[in-house]
Structure 1
Amino acid sequence: MVAPGAVLVDNNRSAWQRNRHRPGWNALLEAIRAGGVRHVIVYHPDRLMRQPRDLEELLTLSEEHDITLHGQANRRDLSDPDDRFFLRVEVAHACRSSDDTSRRLRDALEDRARAGRPHSSGQRPYGYAADAVTVLELEAVIVREIYTRYLEGASPGVIARELNDRGEVTVSGVAWQPYAVRAVLASRHVTGVRVFRGEEAGEGDWPPIIDRGTWAEVQERRSYRASAYDRRGWRFYLLRGLVVCKRCGWRMAGSTSKDACYMCARHTYLGAERCHRRIGAARLEEFVSDAAVELLTQLDVSGAPRAATALSAADEAAISADEVELAELKDMWTHREISTREYRQMRKTIEDRISALYRKTIVRPTVEVLTGLVGADARAVWNQLADRGEVERLNAVLRFLFAAVIIDEHRAPRGGFDYSRIDIEPNPL
């Protein structure tokens, strides 16, 4: 009997797709690494592994643990060379079969696109029924309204707000957000054009909701608005990549408005998901810079190891001794003086010791990043960098010193700057 907790399932998750996340497979590998698994039972090995790299990963683990793989009609001892050979052949055949199936599917999709039939995905396009062909007139009216309002100068945020005020919902049944409006504006499906792999494949066999001229005009307007947006007053935000909203955990980005500030990335959302948290950029940057300068003034890196630290003579001697011991251990195993299990256990112990010694050379490059910035002259050097406009260098130093600058809600009287809402999380040095 197999205990229920030892059953690992990956329903509807293809073992062939290289980038597919498979929680059950990952849990199996972790259980093997933990030493809690000796036998693996599957319907057939090619149901478990359809990529050679998966098999090789399992075989690598089997070198440290005695693993037997049981299938419907056979079992494979992963430490046996013959069984490993047959498994590699089976998995290679399964991979080839999956490649053939994938190629046939891609060809079928291409034929479907050339014939003008719509792409059948999990979610229907807004304005059309589930078959992506039949127009839903109530939604089509909204699609036309979105295009008309945009050409009249309304932004996606304004359009989304107007739709929500009337109780309209998206194809998912949720409130409209600016990104959903932009998706409708970018859709080629509403023009009756079939797109395949990002390129126009021809006329679709469904009726359009928006004519091509209107769609092209909207794309030109979108491009113009984007370029106009980019031409607004620009400043480098010194804390870019560091400021985090404590309420929702999202990054806070610099604004493009006249009053420079850091705003939560969810400030463009509508409804309950919207976050209005913001903080003035100038005072925040001054506060964090002062904290950095104070830390740099007190920091002593004179004895800090450099990134290219070499092993000491004692460590090198210890590694050499361990390597000799590994060779002797392998010789004992070759002459059957110790069992495979004993060999694997002792080899792992020695290899772990060697890895621990090599890890001593992996250090944060404190000296390289902070060169010339530490000590009593830290304030003067910092100001010189700022005066010369070397803000990228200052940002790099701040990100090296600090993991995050967390912003809480404002509690001070209106109009005042609340320093108590700022929490600086340091990096280990």
Structure 2
Amino acid sequence: MTKRAALYLRQSKADDEGIDRQEERTRSLAAARGWTVAATFTDNDISASKPRGAATAWGRMLAMADRLDVVVAVDLDRIARSTRDLNTLIDHGLALVTVDGEIDLASADGELRASVLASVARFEVRRKSERQVRANSHRAAAGHWVGGRRPFGFEADGVTVRPAEADAVRQGFRDILTGIPLAAVARSWNEQGFVTGQQRQARSGHAGEPSPWTAQSVRLVLTNPRYVGLVRYRGEIMSTPAKWPAIVDDATYQGVQAILSDPSRRKPGRRPQALLTGLAVCGVAGCEATVHGGANTAQRLRTYRCRGSLGHISRKADPIDEFVEAVIVARLARPDARQLLAAPSTVDTTALHIEAVAIRERLAALAADFADGLLSRAQMLAGTERANARLAELDVALADAGKVDKLGELIAADDVREVWDGYSTDRRREIIRELARVVVHPVGRGTRTFRPESVVIDWLS
């Protein structure tokens, strides 16, 4: 019976032997042996030293192993870089033949020879990886980018700023400081046409397309110290400043870190769609429940209703929203509006940053002195504890400085209404939350006109 052969082709680097050339050589070998080529499997830009899942050509080949007898590859490195891969082929009952020399996995001698060759290949992969890790560690310590996916806000070299994306990053930091949720930042970036550097997976139905922004991917950007001009490598922040420019200042960065690390932000539930959902409270005596948005489907009207009782309030939402927004805008347009803000910061953030850099360098020096035997373990631990305690104090001070004057942009505007109208609902909600407590009272039956006195706005400061 003629053997059924599968051609396995793989190319992981541009300078590898091309796929077309591999197919030509493996097909010639199959023809010379009189085998029927049942299928061809190609993994492009896939490393044999990394796991290959069911969605790869390797996975599809194993899935149809019961319809194959032998796998043909150019050489062993193309198909297996570990004894695990060889055992996988054996477990699936597949023989392996390479153009550069036959390996018979059905015999003990052939299995031993293949295992030795695979072990050597694995050794070479690990040695290369260790050299690469050491080289990357030295580069990171010197403030260089060690490569990878293009960082958002920068060109492919990881150093040159991409202006439009950098502006989006700055706005994202500002949004978080003013209370805008991560999901709203993601929507804004998506609406502006920005995409992540990651491709969508096959199960999404859009395989290969750029992934849109999500709250989680935005969080990864806004918690990355690269945007404040620092290098993070394998979880450690280097003491040497990065070779690329910072996109935001230290106070802004630390302020956002403090906000995003707050456990109270991780609350389940749907994002409010209406302006006053979860903000305004019911005005019925003794009821402190918030209102939520609803709809009168018969009249196609948005409404606000009390969460505590259906019989308390059910009112048209649009007139309430318009009134509250008008009062807020009028208050922010007054000359004394700045009194609503936190006191202006007198913190010298530049000095704090210089001190923080010096402490990080001191920590690196302590570690080096301990490794060289110049310090005892007790001395090293004592010095590290003091340095880390001061570094924590500096981080808190920088975070507080980043939270000051959240409404500065709005208050400084010549036309407050124009700026307000340009804000998203999420941002308007956070400004209202910052400034006032809104109480919505019920109105009598038959009331058809909006009564301003039925919506009370209590200023918080």
With normalisation by structure 2, the TM-score equals 0.43
With normalisation by structure 1, the TM-score equals 0.46
